[in-house]
């Protein structure tokens, strides 16, 4: 697992955006480049840079297909905090991606199981995901795969923990009761099936999660730790997120990946 410790949120975002732009531009096959995408505050800086690069003509999303990680159950698309709304507001409405190339789980689906099955099938129909970008919850969850979700899990219905609803309450008038109790989410294995996984981890509040992910064992308690079993996983983080790493690990990553630090 590669861990790139950037100075701050801006440099983390810059490295990740550049990486995605390069990956799309070097994709020479006729089939679309398939991107898995997260929501949350972590990817906003990346999305801003992708929008700017698209407007400058440095990258096009015409041959890119996207699959989002998750969606709250019960929120209509028009709800400000639905992930559908977030993705259009922060990315899709500002780039040249064809609307039919955008895939987001439908949190209002009458048959959630069928919706999740269909999602996995659609990912497979494109030959899988080339690059899955993700974030991490403070408890080390990836997508909405809370602690103790199987590391072999596939797309399905998830219950959010009280902790996650409290953390996410900042987007819902600081009222955890307004945060939906359930979500549809890709599974841990849906993420690790991707040919490459890129995690963004920023800020002091993610320090425990980062340490468990990098230095702990592979454990369903910290679902992001599944990345240790992936051959092509990159964590790009900032200095603030490194507070719980051992000095030795911190020095190691700063040393071996020094050429990739902005
Ligand atoms: C939610 C999302 C995750 C995201 C996490 C962290 O729980 N389901 O995909 O990684 O929030 O969000 P943030 O980046 O705002 O810290």
Burial label, 100 (beta-carbon count in 10 A; 0-12, 13-18, 19+): exposed
As given in the structure block, the two tokens for residue 55 are 């407007």
- Given the residues 19, 71, 120, 141, select the one marked as catalytic: 141
Query: What whole-number distance in Å separates Cα of residue 87 and Cα of residue 188?
Result: 21
27 as an active site residue: the answer is no
E strands of 69-222, at which residues?
70-72, 102-103, 131-134, 156-159, 182-185, 196-201
Q: Where does ligand 1 bind, in terms of residues with CB under 6 Å?
A: 38-42, 69-70, 135-137, 143-144, 164
| Nearest-CA residue for atom 3 of ligand 1 | 143
d(CA 179, CA 121): 29
CATH of the domain at 16: 3.40.50.1360
Separation between Cα atoms, residue 252 and residue 198, nearest integer Å: 19
Count of the separate structural domains present in the chain: 1
Task: State the Cα–Cα distance between residues 211 and 207, nearest whole angstrom.
Answer: 6
Query: 215 pLDDT band (50/70/90 cuts)?
Result: very high
Residue 146 annotated in active site: yes
Active site residue 163: no
With bands split at pLDDT 50, 70 and 90, how would you rate the model's confidence at 114? very high
Range of the domain at 163: 2-260
**H-helix or E-strand spanning residue 236:** strand 233-238
| Nearby residues of 88 by Cβ (< 8 Å), 6 or more positions away | none
Q: Which of 38, 105, 143 gets mutated to test ligand 1 (max ligand atoms within 8 A of its CB)?
A: 38
Query: Nearest to residue 66, comparing CAs of 84, 40, 45?
Result: 84
**Which residue intervals of the chain are DSSP H helices?**
9-25, 44-55, 83-90, 112-125, 162-168, 188-192, 207-215, 247-256
Which residues have CB under 8 Å from 196's CB, separation 6+? 23, 130, 131, 132, 232, 233, 234
pTM above the 0.95 mark? yes
pLDDT tens readout for residues 133-188: 999 999 999 999 999 999 999 999 999 999 999 999 999 999 999 999 999 999 99
φ, ψ of residue 157 to 5 degrees: the values are -80, 135
Q: What is the pLDDT of residues 66-81, one digit of tens each?
A: 999 999 999 999 999 9
- Is 70 among the catalytic positions? yes
Separation of CA 53 from chain center: 20
- pLDDT value of position 137: 95
Using CA atoms, how far apart are residues 176 and 69, in angstroms rounded to an integer? 22
240: left (phi over 0), alpha (psi -120 to 50) or beta: alpha
């Amino acid at each position: 697992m590669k861990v790139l410790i950037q100075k701050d949120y801006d440099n983390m975002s810059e490295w990740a955006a550049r990486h995605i732009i390069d990956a799309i531009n070097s994709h020479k096959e006729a089939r679309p480049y398939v991107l898995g995408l997260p929501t949350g505050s972590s990817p906003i800086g990346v999305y801003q840079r992708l929008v700017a690069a698209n407007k400058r003509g440095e990258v096009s999303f015409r041959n890119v297909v996207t699959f989002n990680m998750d969606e709250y159950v019960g929120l209509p698309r028009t709800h400000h905090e639905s992930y559908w709304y977030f993705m259009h507001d922060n990315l899709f409405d500002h780039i040249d991606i064809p609307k039919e190339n955008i895939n987001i789980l439908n949190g209002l689906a009458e048959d959630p199981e069928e919706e999740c099955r269909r999602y996995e099938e659609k990912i497979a129909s494109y030959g899988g995901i080339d690059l899955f970008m993700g974030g991490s919850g403070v408890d080390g969850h990836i997508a909405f795969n809370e602690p103790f979700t199987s590391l072999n899990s596939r797309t399905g219905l998830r219950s959010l923990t009280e902790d996650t609803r409290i953390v996410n309450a900042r987007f819902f008038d600081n009222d955890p009761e307004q945060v939906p109790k359930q979500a549809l989410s890709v599974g841990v294995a849906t993420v690790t099936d991707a040919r490459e996984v890129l995690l963004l981890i920023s800020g002091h509040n993610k320090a425990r999660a980062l340490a468990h992910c990098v230095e702990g064992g592979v454990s369903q308690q910290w679902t992001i730790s599944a990345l240790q079993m992936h051959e092509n996983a990159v964590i790009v983080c900032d200095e603030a997120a490194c507070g719980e790493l051992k000095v030795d690990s911190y020095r190691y990553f700063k040393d071996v990946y020094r050429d990739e630090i902005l």
